[in-house]
Amino acid sequence: MEKFCKTYYADFSAFIENEDLILSRMGEVDEERRARIERARYAHTKAELLAGGLIVKAALSDALGIADFKTEKNEFGKPYLASHPDVFFNVSHSGTCVICTVSDVECGVDIEDAGAPHEIMAMAQRFMSMLEMNAMMMSEDPNRAFCRLWTLRESYVKMRGRGFDIGLSTLHCDFHRGKASILENNVVQTDAHFHELRGIPGYVASVCTKEERDNTVKKLVL
């Protein structure tokens, strides 16, 4: 298979507080996701769940022409394509934006709403090194700097697919000549390659792949 990494994002605000629209699109996602949507208590959660299912379908179709697929989960809960074992994907959402990366290698993606308030000091003191905390607090926009460090960590953890088996406090981000890398237990992870996405207005996002890949970014309408 050709080497590739493609990232897609979309705004799902139209689904929030619109039960009729959600119901009209429910048939486009799998049975397990429909059940989760029906159980969800909050309108925003329902919209997130629907958007997550729709963007995977749209991304796989656009990237590879895959229309028929079945997803399962590994022992740590990371979804994978049982019907296409050589294709990998990952999804994240924040605010009213959902994002999906599709690749021929293990991948992870995370997005954060840079305009939303974050408990940056409490989170930083718990999960980040002193160097990272100092750099964050000295930046022009500490909230955005926090989102950058957080999405790099999350995309790495999601790429590994081991869930909470990796403690966020064991990670440290480095930026040699402006290029992000990550250390786990003070060991540089040479098989973790990052793309920081700066073109999504109002958001900070990061993609991590197990091998170096060029990454394209495309906006979709769900």
pLDDT tens track for 144-181: 999 999 999 999 999 999 887 888 899 999 998 889 99
Cα separation, 153 vs 60, whole angstroms: 25
The SS3 call for residue 206 is: strand
- How much is the mean pLDDT over the chain? 94
pTM of the model as a whole: 0.95
Over residues 89-136, the pLDDT tens digits come to 999 999 999 999 999 999 999 999 998 877 888 888 899 999 999 999
The pLDDT, as a whole number, for residue 208 is 98
Ranked by mean pLDDT, which of 62-71, 121-130, 211-220 comes out on top?
Answer: 211-220
The pLDDT, as a whole number, for residue 178 is 84
Number of domains in the chain: 1
Q: What is the CATH number of the domain that holds 102?
A: 3.90.470.20
Cα separation, 182 vs 15, whole angstroms: 36
Cα separation, 67 vs 57, whole angstroms: 7
28 in Cβ contact with 57 (< 8 Å): yes
- Residue 203 neighbours by CB under 8 Å, 6+ apart: 94, 95, 97, 111, 112, 113, 114
Q: How many CA atoms lie within 13 A of 29 on its CB side?
A: 24
Cα separation, 193 vs 210, whole angstroms: 6
- As a whole number of Å, the end-to-end CA separation of the chain is 27
The pLDDT, as a whole number, for residue 167 is 87
Q: Would you place residue 76 in the very low, low, confident or very high pLDDT band (cuts 50, 70, 90)?
A: confident
The pLDDT, as a whole number, for residue 74 is 87
Q: Which domain holds residue 61?
A: 5-219
State both tokens at 164. 């909470």
144 in Cβ contact with 44 (< 8 Å): no
